[in-house]
Amino acid sequence: MTETIIQSSNLFLPTILIPLLPLIGFIINGLFGKKLGHASGWIATLVMFASLACSMFLFFNLPSGTTETVTLSNWFYFNDIFIPFAFLIDPLTITMLLVVTGIGSLIHLYSIGYMHHDEGFARFFTYLNLFVFFMLLLVMGNNYLIMFIGWEGVGLCSYLLIGFWFKNQAYNDAAKKAFIMNRIGDLGFLLGMFMMLYHFKSLNYDKVAIGAMSLGVNHITVVGITLFLFIGAMGKSAQLPLYTWLPDAMAGPTPVSALIHAATMVTAGIYMIARSNIIYSLAPHTLDVILIIGTATSLFAAIIGLLQNDIKKVLAYSTVSQLGLMFAALGMGAFESGMFHVVTHAFFKALLFLGAGSVIHALGGEQDMRRMGGLGKYIKITFLTFLIGTIAISGIPPFAGFFSKDEILASAFEHNKVIWGLLSFSSMLTAFYMFRLLYLTFSNSFRGTEEVKHHIHESPTVMTLPLIILAACSTVVGFIGLPPVLSHSHNFKNYLSSVFAQSKTILPAGHQMSHSMEWILIATAVGLAIVSIAFAYFKYVKQKQTPLEDEQLKGISKVISNKFYVDEIYNAVFVKPIMLLSDLFLVIIDKLVIDLLVHGVAFVTAQFGRGLRLLQTGHVGFYMFAMVISMIILLALQIFNIFNFLHI
Amino acid sequence: MENSIQSIPQNWYLILSSFMFCIGIMGVLFRRNAIIILMCIELMLNAVNLLLVSFSSYAGNAEGQVFVFFIMVVAAAEVAVGLALLVSIYRNIASTDINILSKMKW
Amino acid sequence: MGISQIIFYLLASFTIFTALFVVFSKNPIYSVLWLILCFFSVAGHFVMLNAQFLAVVHIIVYSGAIMVLFLFTVMLLNLNKETEPHKPLLLKFAAVISGGVLFLIILAAMKTTIPSNYIAPKASEIGYVKQIGMKLYREYTLPFEVASILFLSAMIGSVVLAKKERA
C-alpha cells in the first residue's frame, strides 16, 4: 500500500513553501520577537508576500482542470488505514490560497501600522503567522486529518488572538467562549472523521467520495457523516445555534477580526463543505438542513445587526449574516456561487473591518457609533474606501458583492421561492444597517468629546495602502463571475468546474432561467437595496437621528438590541445547569469521594510510617539480625515451595 | 598423585564453603567489635571464592576464576576504605563497638 | 579412601577450626592471626582445585596485604582482651542458632538442586596463569581497567578518611 513520494513535479517546491514560509516567520518571531522589535512585523509581512507569490505561481502554472498531489510522507499506517501527509492542489485550493495569502499579506501590512504602539507587537505577528500556517494547512491538505489539524490550529490561534489583550478579563472570557463554541463543532467534525474511517477506511477526499458513491443517495451513513461535518462547520463558521462567539470575538485587535473572523477562518466551514461537495451531493437531506440553517442565520443575524451600536459588532453580525448566505448557497447545491461569495466577501469584509480599525485608530479606541459622526471630513481615505466596501456588501452593481449575491439569489429563486424571499429580505436589511453604519460614522457632525475630536487623524500609509488595494479589489473582483445575462463565460465557474463536475451529475440539474426573469431578479435586488439605502439616508442624514441609549429602548427594539437574549438563554439553559452540576460534583464526588480516597491513602501510609519507623533503632546488630533472619525465611519459603502458587 | 578433582565429589566443596559462610554470618552476629565483623565479612567472601573456584574447576570454565580475581579486588578496596572509616570513628568515640554507633535512627 | 581425599579432610577441618577460632577468640589480635591461618588453608584448597595462580594471588593479597592491614589497625587502635566489648549471652546464643539454621537451610536448598556426587571427568588446566591471563586480558580487559580505577578511588578515599581532621 505504499505510495511513492512524488517530488519530480515542478510544483513541489512552491507548494511546500506556501505553508512553510509563514511557519518560518512564526518560528523567527516566536523565538527572537523581543529582540527584533518592530522588524518582526516586516518579517511576518515579507513571508506572507513570499507565500502569496508562491500561490500566484501555482495559479499560473497548474494546468486548468487538473489536480496535483504533493506527498511529503506516508504519514501512518494502521491496519488497513493509510493516511499520507500530502497536499492537494486543485483550483479550489488555489482559490482559497490566493484569498488567504493575498488578504493575509495586506492585513499583515496594515497591522504594522495598527499595532505600532502595542507592547505585544512581536507576539501579535507570531500568532498571526501561526494562524496563516494553520489556515494554509487546512486548505491544502488532501485528507480530512490534515484539514482537522489546520481546523484545530486556527481555532487555537483565534483563541490566542481574541484574548490578545489578556489583561482584560472580558476579552479572556470572549476568547474562552470562542474556543468552547468551536470545540462543540469540532466534536462533530471528529465524529464525522471517525465515521469515515469506520466505513471507508480512509480520510482522503477522493477515497471518501468513491466510498460514498458506492453507497448511493441519501444513505444513512453519508447523511450522518455530512451532518457531523456540518456541525463542525456550524461552530467554525458561526451558524445558528453556535454563532454567539463571533460577535464576542471582536474583542481581539481589529486586524484579527478582519483576517480571522471575517475573511478566512470563518469561511473554513464553507470551504470544507465545498471540498466535500460530492458526499454532500449524495446527501440531499443534509443539504436541506444546511439551506434552512443558512437562511435562518442570515436573517437572524441581519435583524440583530439593525440595532447594534458598536461599529465592530455591526460588522460581526453582518459577517454572520453573509456566512449564512453562503451556507444557503451550498445548501442549494450552488457550490461555485458559495465559493464566489467567499471570495468577494473576503475582500469587502476585510476592507470594512480594516476601515473600522482605521476609524477606531483615529478616535483613539472609541467603538460606539453614537460617539462618532462627521468623520468623512477628517479621514477622507478611510471614508472613501469604507464607502466602496459598504456599497459592495449592499449589492449595488458593479461592485463585487452584487455579482456573488445576485448569483445566490438567482439560485434560490430557482430552488425555492420562500427561501428567495427570505434571503432577499436579509440582503435588504444588510444594505440598511451597513448604510446606517456608514452614515452614523461619517455623516453629520461629530458627537464625541472635544478632546477626541481634536485628536482625530488619518492613519499612516501602511494602513491606508491596504485599504486602497482592497477597495480596488472589491470594485473589480466581481467581474470574474459575470451573470449569464451579461456574459457567456463565467470565469470563476469555469475555473472551478473540474472540482464540482462530479456533484453536478449527482444533483438534479436546474432548468436554465430565462434572461428576462434574470433581469427582473437583478432589478428587484438592486431596487430593494436602493430603497433601504434611501430609507437609511432619510432616517440618519436628513432627520439626523441617532440611536437611543440602551436605557431608553423598549419593546421589540430592546429585544433585538439585546440580541434576542440568546446569550442569556444559553446561559440559563446550558451554562447554569453545568455550573450547578459541577458544583454538585465538586461537593459530592470531589470533596467527599476522591478527597477521602486520596487523603485516606495518605493518612494510612503516614500512620504505617509512624509505626514502622520505630524499627529504625540505629543498632547495627539489630539490622544484621533482621537481615539474616529474613534470608533464612526467604530460603525456607523457597525450599518448601511456598511460592508455588505464584508460578514463579 | 591422582588428580584431586577426579576423586573428590564437588558436594564436599559446596558443604565446606557453605559452612564457612555460616561461620562468617554467625561471627557477624556474635561479635560487637567492628573490626572482627569486617574480618567475618572477609571470611564470607572467601567462602564464596572457594565455591566459585570449585565450580570453575569442575566445569572446566575459567570465567569463575576471573570473577574470584575481581572479588579479591573489591574485597581489598572494601577493607582499605572500611578500616579507614573505623580509624576515623575510633578517633571520635574511642571505641569500635557497633552498639555505640546508633545515632542514625528516626 | 585416596590420598587426596585424606588431604581434603585435613585441610577442611583445619579451615573450619581456624574459622571458628576467628569468631570465638577473646583477643582481636588472635582473631587476626587465626584468620591468616584460615586463608592459608583456603589457598591450599585452591591448589587442590588446580587453581595454582589464584592460590598464589590469594596468599599475596589476603595474607600479605589485607591481613597485615587488619593487624596494623588492631594494633594502632590498641584493642585487646580487656577493651573488647561483648554481647549479652542471650544474643550470642541467638547468633549461633541462626548461623546453624542458615547452614541447614542452605544444605537443604542444595539437596534439591545438585546431584550429590559429581566428579570432574578430566583434570582441569584452566587454573594456569596462561589460561587466566588469556581470559583476563582478552575478554575482561575493560573490567580489569575499571578495577584499577576502583583501587585508585579506594586509596584516595582511605587517605582522606584516615587523615587527621583539623579542628
Q: Which of A468, A470, A391, A474 is nearest to A437 (CA)?
A: A391
- DSSP annotation of C164 reads P
Cβ–Cβ gap C109/A621 under 8 Å: no
The answer to whether residues A471 and A580 belong to one domain is: no
The last residue of one of the domains, among A512, A527, A561, is A561
Please, what is the end-to-end C-alpha distance for chain B in angstroms?
62
Say if residue A638 is in the same domain as residue A511: no
CA torsion, ordered A389, A395, A400, A404, to nearest 10 deg: 140
Neighbours of chain C (3+ CB pairs under 8 A): A, B
CA dihedral A451, A452, A455, A458 (to 10 degrees): -160
Contacting subunits of B (3+ beta carbon pairs below 8 A): A, C
> Is residue B9 a part of any domain in this protein?
no
Closest residue in chain B to residue A612, using alpha carbons only: B106
- Whether residue A103 lies inside any domain: the answer is yes
For residue B47, is it within any domain?
A: yes
* CATH code for residues C3-127: 1.20.120.1200
Q: What is the pLDDT of residue A509?
A: 67
Residue B27 lies in a domain: no
- Facing residue for B36 by CB, picked from C28, C38, C102: C28
B25 contacts in chain A (CB < 8 Å): 628
Per-residue model confidence (pLDDT) at position A444: 77
Query: What residue in B sits closest to C154 (Cα-Cα)?
Result: B77
CB neighbourhood size of C80 (10 A):
13
- Partners of B92 on chain C (C-beta within 8 Å) are none
C-alpha cell at A151: 481546523
pLDDT in tens, A116-165: 888 888 888 999 999 999 999 999 988 899 999 999 999 999 999 888 88
Distance from first CA to last CA of chain A, Å, rounded? 44
The residue of B15, B29, B61 whose CB has the most chain C CBs within 10 angstroms, and thus the best one to mutate to test that interface, is: B29
Q: What is the mean pLDDT of residues A50-77?
A: 84
Are residues A577 and A452 both part of a single domain? no
Q: Quick check: B23 and C23 CB within 8 A?
A: yes
Res B2: pLDDT: 55
For C98, the closest of A632, A636, A638 (CB atoms) is A632
| A617 residue type, one letter | T
Partner-chain contact A639 C98, CB within 8 Å: no
The SS3 of residue A17 is helix
- A541: CB partners within 8 A, 6+ apart: A439, A443, A444
Return the beta strands (E) in B8-60 as ranges.
none
Q: What is the pLDDT of residue A647?
A: 59
Q: How confident is the model at residue A642 (pLDDT cuts 50, 70, 90)?
A: low
Q: Do A621 and C91 touch (CB under 8 A)?
A: yes
Which of C98, C104, C107, C111 is the best residue to mutate to test the A interface, defined by the most A CB atoms within 10 Å of its own CB? C98
State whether A475 and A607 are in the same domain. Answer: no
Indicate yes or no: CB of B28 within 8 angstroms of CB of A624: yes
Nearest chain A residue (CA) to B100: A619
State residue A1's pLDDT score: 36
Considering only CB atoms, B63 lies closest to which of C32, C96, C135, namely C135
Q: Chains touching chain A at 3 or more Cβ pairs under 8 angstroms?
A: B, C
A639 and C102 in contact by Cβ < 8 A? no
Name the percent of chain A lying above pLDDT 70: 96
In a domain, B74, yes or no: yes
Q: Is B1 inside any structural domain?
A: no
Whether residue A412 is found in the same domain as residue A282: yes
Contact check, Cβ <8 Å, B25/C102: yes
A21 with A158, same domain? yes
Q: Is the CB of A638 less than 8 angstroms away from the CB of C102?
A: no
Q: Are B28 and A624 in contact (CB under 8 A)?
A: yes
Cell reading at C104: 541447614
Are residues A639 and C101, on separate chains, in Cβ contact within 8 Å? no
Query: In C, which residues are within 8 Å of B41 by CB distance?
Result: none
Q: Do A618 and B99 touch (CB under 8 A)?
A: no
So what's the pLDDT on residue A643?
64
B5 lies in a domain?
no
Could B80 and C158 be called an inter-chain contact, meaning their C-beta atoms sit closer than 8 Å? Answer: yes
Evaluate whether residue A7 is within a structural domain. Answer: no
Residue identified by cell 449524495 is A282
Question: For the segment C95-125, what is each residue's pLDDT rounded down to a tens digit?
Answer: 899 999 999 888 887 776 666 677 776 766 7
Position B8 pLDDT exceeds 90: no
Interchain pair B102, A614: CB under 8 A: no
Contact (CB<8Å) A620/B28? no
Neighbours of A341 (CB within 10 A): 28
pLDDT higher than threshold 60 for residue A112: yes
Domain identity same for A157 and A136:
yes
Say if A639 is an interface residue toward chain B (CB within 8 Å): no
Whether B57 and C127 lie within 8 Å, measured CB to CB: yes
- Secondary structure (3-state) at A2: coil
Q: Which residues of C touch A621 (CB under 8 A)?
A: 87, 91
**A639 vs C contacts (CB less than 8 Å):** 105, 108-109, 112
Report how many domains make up chain B.
1
Report yes or no: C55 and C46 within 8 Å, Cβ to Cβ. Answer: yes
Question: What pLDDT was estimated at residue A404?
Answer: 85
pLDDT surpassing 80 at residue A548: no
Mutation for testing the A interface, residue in B18, B29, B38, B103 having most A CBs under 10 Å:
B29
What secondary structure, in 3-state letters, does A368-412 show? EHHHCCCHHHCCHHHHHHHHHHHHHHHCCCCCHHHHHHHHHHHHH
Q: Where are the domains positioned within chain C?
A: 3-127, 128-167
Q: Give the end of a domain, one of A541, A561, A581.
A: A561
Closest CA to A353 of A480, A246, A244: A246
pLDDT of residue A26: 92
- How confident is the model at residue A296, as a pLDDT? 92
Tell me the residue type at B80.
A
* Mean pLDDT in residue range A29-41: 85
- Per CB-CB distance under 8 Å, the chain B contacts of C127 are 57, 62, 65
Please compute the mean of the pLDDT values over residues A523-541 and round it to a whole number. Answer: 86
Asked if omega into A241 is within 30° of 0 (cis), the reply is yes
Flag residues of chain C having pLDDT under 70: 1, 112-116, 121, 123-124, 165-167
Q: Which residues of A touch C112 (CB under 8 A)?
A: 639
Q: Residue A76, SS3?
A: strand
Which one of A167-171, A413-417, B18-22, B30-34 scores highest in mean pLDDT? Answer: B18-22
Highest average pLDDT, of A619-628, A638-647, C54-63, comes from C54-63
Mean pLDDT calculated for residue range A174-202: 89
Tell me the backbone φ, ψ of residue C21, rounded to 5 degrees: -65, -35
Q: How far is CA A12 from the centre of its chain?
A: 28
Q: Which residue of B has its CA nearest to A626?
A: B29
Neighbours of A612 (CB within 10 A): 10
**Is A360 inside a domain boundary?**
yes
Judge: B81–C162 Cβ closer than 8 Å, yes or no.
Answer: no
Mean pLDDT value of segment A618-624: 84
A566-578 average pLDDT score: 84
pLDDT(A369) > 70: yes
* Residues in A touching B105 (Cβ below 8 Å): 616-618
H helical segments located in A90-204: 91-114, 121-140, 144-162, 169-200
Buried b (16+ CB within 10 A) or exposed e, A491-522: ebbebbeebbeebeebbeeeeebeeeebeebb
Most C CBs within 10 A among B16, B51, B100, hence the mutation to make, goes to: B16
Beta bridge partners of A87: A70, A141
- Tell me which residue in B5, B19, B38 faces C49 most closely, judged by beta carbons: B5
Mutate to test the interface with A, among B40, B98, B103 (most CBs of A within 10 A): B98
List the single residue in C with minimal CA-CA distance to B55: C49
Residue in chain A nearest C95 by alpha carbon: A625
What is the pLDDT, as a whole number, of residue C1? 66
Predicted pLDDT at A9: 63
Summarize pLDDT for A254-290 with one digit per residue, the tens.
Answer: 888 888 888 888 889 999 999 988 888 888 888 999 9
The pLDDT tens digits of the residues spanning A316-352 come to 999 999 999 999 998 888 888 888 889 999 988 999 9
Is residue B43 in a domain?
Answer: yes
ipTM value for the complex: 0.89
More confident residue, A131 or A518: A131
Residue C166: predicted pLDDT: 67
Instruction: With beta carbons under 8 A apart, name residues in chain A contacting B103.
Output: 618
Angstroms from A185 CA to nearest CA on chain B: 59
pLDDT at B94: 82
Same domain, A267 and A333: yes
Could you tell me if A616 lies within 8 Å of chain B, comparing CB atoms? yes
Domain that includes residue B55, residue range: 32-96
Mean pLDDT of chain A: 85
Lowest-confidence region among A191-195, A305-309, C162-166 = C162-166
Query: Above 80 in pLDDT, residue A510?
Result: no
- Contact list, A628 vs chain C (CB under 8 Å): 98-99, 102
From A561, A578, A597, give the residue that closes a domain.
A561
Mean pLDDT of chain B: 87
Average pLDDT over residues A429-450: 84
- Rounded to the nearest angstrom, the minimum Cα separation between A79 and chain B is 49
Among A205-219, A442-456, A491-505, the range of highest mean pLDDT: A205-219
A594 and A616 in a single domain? The answer is yes
Query: For residue A632, what are the domain limits?
Result: 568-646
Inform me whether the pLDDT recorded for A247 exceeds 80. yes
Closest CA to B26 of C90, A617, A624, C70: A624
C70 contacts in chain B (CB < 8 Å): 35, 38-39, 79, 83
Strand partners for A76: A83
Q: Both A148 and A18 in a single domain?
A: yes
A-C CB pairs within 8 A amount to 24
A590 and A555 belong to one structural domain: no
The model's pTM is 0.68
Judgement on whether residues A424 and A385 belong to the same structural domain of the protein: yes
Residue A398 domain-assigned (yes or no): yes
**What pLDDT, on the 0 to 100 scale, is given for residue C127?**
73
CATH number, domain containing residue B78: 1.10.287.3510
For residue A578, being part of any structural domain is answered with yes
Residue A366, phi then psi, degrees to nearest 5: -75, 130
